[in-house]
């Protein structure tokens, strides 16, 4: 009888039982896993740039292109702890791009650089975070669900304002 293998390694029945390769489940992040990247496409008009984000897309980096017309949006799914989505500009935005919550009661906790070496204070949860028209190549942020309590469901982090002095790229509303 041949020993069971995971890649080039021989493993026991016990190790096989907890192996993701053999159907085990992961509670957390698999270190070293490759992240998906999805290039968003300019909708050419104000409104949704595409359908709402899905749970299956959690962990994905979405690239935001130059936008030609109107404020373009994408909706977060209903809050589920651990979901996370990253957005990064790959050109000057030229129009507003917003990541919106699924319903008005659901909020995003966020700060943004104020250009003076500080961050804005969180005085409330926001309905959206995104890029202003002036956002340049490399501006980015990540939204992660931290709670199913609507008022504190999402947090925006790893916020990078690509403009000199950190002013003018990030839009909170």
170 with 113: CB under 8 angstroms? Answer: yes
Residues of the chain with pLDDT under 70: 1-3, 6-7, 15-33, 115, 121, 123, 163-168
Q: What pLDDT does 157 receive?
A: 92
Centroid of chain to Cα 74: 11
pTM equals 0.79
Q: What pLDDT does 167 receive?
A: 66
pLDDT tens per residue across span 136-173: 999 999 999 999 999 999 999 998 887 666 666 888 88
């Amino acid at each position: 009888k041949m020993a069971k293998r995971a890649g080039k390694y021989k493993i026991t029945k016990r190790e096989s039982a907890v192996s993701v390769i053999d159907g085990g489940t992961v509670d957390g992040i698999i270190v070293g896993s490759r992240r998906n990247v999805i290039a968003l496409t300019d909708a050419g008009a104000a409104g949704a740039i595409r359908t709402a984000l899905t749970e299956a897309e959690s962990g994905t980096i979405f690239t935001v292109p130059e936008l030609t017309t109107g404020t373009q949006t994408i909706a977060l799914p209903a809050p589920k702890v651990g979901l996370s989505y990253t957005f990064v500009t790959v050109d000057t935005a030229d129009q507003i791009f917003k990541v919106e919550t699924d319903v008005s009661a659901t909020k995003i906790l966020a700060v943004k650089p104020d250009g003076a070496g500080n961050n804005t204070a969180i005085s409330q949860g926001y309905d959206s975070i995104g890029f202003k028209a002036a956002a340049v190549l490399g501006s980015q942020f990540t939204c992660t669900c931290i709670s199913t309590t609507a008022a504190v469901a999402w947090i925006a982090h790893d916020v990078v304002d690509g403009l000199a002095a950190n002013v003018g790229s990030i839009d909170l509303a």
